[in-house]
């Protein structure tokens, strides 16, 4: 079994889509560690705020198969890939880390994800997997967050979000 660190985000009906995605992760992988949910501004375009969270799962899937499963989950939530790269999303679930491996695969599969540098990905992951190692730097997520240039980015914790 491998430990996979995931980033989740939505800015179109975000509460419903995040709840549903977390339920689907639990149905497929069993126990899922989920971070606090944060409200953040859209990055790369003008749009509604996102709700972002992170999840950690133990999986028997190889990275390519897990990535395909996550794409199917996004598609099931109405993800539209026909627009610009940076745009509104019903659901975005990215494989950020897979154990301590470096993976280059078909399509956009790249682990670790470059988006790990952004606070909306790094902060929630560092909360729930502080000991996870980013393989290119050899540093833990806790160490990366402690020295992040985005530590001051506004991220409002969403209170009362029940991911159960």
Q: What is the pLDDT of residues 87-128, one digit of tens each?
A: 678 899 999 999 999 999 877 889 999 999 999 999 999 999
Q: What is the pTM of this model?
A: 0.93
DSSP state of 77: T
> In which domain, by residue range, is 37 found?
2-157
Whether 94 is catalytic: yes
Whether 41 is catalytic: no
Establish if 86 belongs to a structural domain.
Answer: yes
Catalytic residue among 39, 41, 79, 139: 79
CATH number, domain of 125, equals: 3.30.70.560
Catalytic residue among 33, 49, 92, 99: 92
Q: Which two tokens stand for residue 91?
A: 């659901």
71 contacts: CB under 8 Å, gap ≥ 6: none
Establish if 91 belongs to a structural domain.
Answer: yes
The residue whose two tokens read 């149905």 is 27
- Number of helices and strands (H, E) in the chain? 4, 10
Count of domains observed in the chain: 1
Whether 113 is catalytic: no
pLDDT in tens, 122-146: 999 999 999 999 999 999 999 999 9
The residue whose two tokens read 């799962």 is 57
- Four-point Cα dihedral 82, 83, 86, 91, nearest 10: -60
Catalytic residue among 39, 60, 80, 89: 89
């Amino acid at each position: 079994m491998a430990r996979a660190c995931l980033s989740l985000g939505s800015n179109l009906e975000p509460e419903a889509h995040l709840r549903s995605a977390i339920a689907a992760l639990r149905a497929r992988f069993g126990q899922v560690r989920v971070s606090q949910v944060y409200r953040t501004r859209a990055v790369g375009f003008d749009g509604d705020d996102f709700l972002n969270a992170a999840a950690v799962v133990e999986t028997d899937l190889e990275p390519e198969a897990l990535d395909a499963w996550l794409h199917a989950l996004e598609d099931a939530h109405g993800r539209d890939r026909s627009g610009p790269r940076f745009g509104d999303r019903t659901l975005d679930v990215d494989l950020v880390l897979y154990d301590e491996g470096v993976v280059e695969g078909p399509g956009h599969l790249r682990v670790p994800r470059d988006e790990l540098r952004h606070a909306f990905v790094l902060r929630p992951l560092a909360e729930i997997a502080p000991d996870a190692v980013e393989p290119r730097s050899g540093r833990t997520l806790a160490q990366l967050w402690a020295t992040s240039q985005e530590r001051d980015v506004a991220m409002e914790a969403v209170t009362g979000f029940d991911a159960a």
